[in-house]
């Protein structure tokens, strides 16, 4: 899992650091954000101190109604050892007691001109992406007609060559050789390329090529949701391969299951066309048009009719 610190958020959202500069290296461990309205009112029994605390107009105005001693006591409780930072929205005035306490306890207090709801949404999205569970897979990720296809297989089976043929057919490369996969939601996997390998494709006998330089910016994309996995393997005469497509195999990455197809490789097979059609057929199935099921139903009707005759 990636590490996010308060200083990263300051840079990402161009926040104004008001006080507590010594604590900017504090880690942010959760994407959840807290608006401590009840806490400022005195209810600290369930205070989620490990979250970023977001103070909007309601919270700031309420603190102005408190007595000075009481206001300082609440700010002391708000600035715990676990709190990664406190953010004031709408460029509101920061309570003096909060500035004093945050300096004493090294809790960063920041400010943004953005509205509270909009900033909370952007901050949550940023943290969910940065803190999402991450793994790396050996393979190629290509965007084919809007379907994120992860091509896997043993080294030398032809993954990169197939990706090159798909790029020539107008599809877009996301990552080659190493695909970094993040689970940004319970059923959502997003693949990206490591920064070092971005836009690069390795072809044996040719070397490393820059896809964006040769084919243009439209031939690459920075990330793509993975919805289909195609595993390439050398043809095995003794193995039974699915010929109808009725049995749908699944592969599990983190908590998400995605459809997996196994495509045998042998001389003369146009893998680029096969994978392109697999992506189109996958889209068709998601739209409710399953050719394999239609064929099976028609076959069953014919067999039933012959038995009746």
Annotated binding site for Mg(2+): 160, 202
**Residues whose CB falls within 8 Å of the CB of residue 218, separated by 6 or more in sequence, listed in order:** 172
3-state secondary structure of 266: coil
Closest CA to 259 of 276, 244, 281: 281
Separation between Cα atoms, residue 86 and residue 107, nearest integer Å: 7
Question: Can 138 be counted among the known catalytic residues?
Answer: yes
Question: Can 240 be counted among the known catalytic residues?
Answer: no
DSSP code string of 95-142? PHHHHHHHHHHT--EEE-SS-HHHHHHHHHHHHHHHSS-EEEEESEEE
The one catalytic residue among 239, 243, 252, 305: 243
The one catalytic residue among 138, 188, 266, 269: 138
Separation between Cα atoms, residue 285 and residue 94, nearest integer Å: 55
Question: Can 250 be counted among the known catalytic residues?
Answer: no
Question: Can 159 be counted among the known catalytic residues?
Answer: yes
Reading the block at residue 181, the tokens are: 């996969």
How many alpha carbons fall within 13 Å on the CB side of residue 299? 7
Binding residues for ATP: 153-160
The one catalytic residue among 71, 159, 182, 199: 159
Could you tell me if 141 and 160 are in contact, meaning their C-beta atoms sit under 8 angstroms apart?
no
Which amino acids are annotated catalytic? 138, 159, 177, 243
């Amino acid at each position: 899992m990636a590490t996010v610190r308060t200083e990263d958020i300051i840079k990402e959202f161009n926040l104004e650091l008001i006080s507590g500069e010594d604590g900017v290296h504090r880690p942010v461990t959760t994407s959840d954000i807290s608006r401590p309205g009840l806490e400022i009112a005195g209810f600290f029994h369930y205070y989620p101190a490990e979250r970023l605390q977001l103070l909007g107009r309601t919270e700031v105005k309420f603190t102005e109604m408190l007595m000075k001693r009481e206001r300082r006591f609440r700010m002391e409780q708000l600035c715990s050892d676990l709190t990664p930072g406190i953010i004031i929205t709408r460029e509101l005035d920061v309570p003096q007691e909060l500035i004093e306490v945050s300096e004493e306890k090294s809790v960063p207090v920041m400010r943004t001109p953005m509205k509270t709801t909009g900033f909370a949404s952007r901050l949550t999205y940023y943290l969910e992406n940065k803190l999402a569970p991450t793994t790396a897979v050996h393979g190629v990720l290509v965007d084919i007609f809007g379907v994120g296809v992860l091509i896997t297989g043993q080294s030398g089976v032809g993954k990169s060559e197939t990706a090159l043929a798909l790029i020539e057919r107008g599809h877009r490369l996301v990552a080659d050789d190493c695909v970094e996969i993040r689970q940004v939601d319970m059923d959502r996997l997003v693949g990206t390329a490591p920064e070092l390998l971005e836009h690069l494709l390795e072809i044996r006998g040719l070397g490393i090529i820059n896809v964006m330089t040769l084919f243009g910016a439209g031939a690459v994309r920075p990330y793509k949701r993975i919805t289909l996995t195609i595993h390439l393997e050398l043809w095995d005469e003794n193995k039974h391969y699915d010929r109808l497509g009725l049995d749908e195999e699944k592969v599990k990455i983190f908590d998400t299951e995605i459809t997996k197809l196994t495509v045998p490789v042998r001389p003369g097979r146009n893998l680029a066309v096969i994978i392109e059609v697999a992506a189109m057929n996958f889209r068709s199935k998601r739209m409710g048009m399953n050719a394999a099921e239609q064929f099976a139903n028609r076959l069953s009707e014919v067999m039933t009719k012959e038995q009746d005759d």
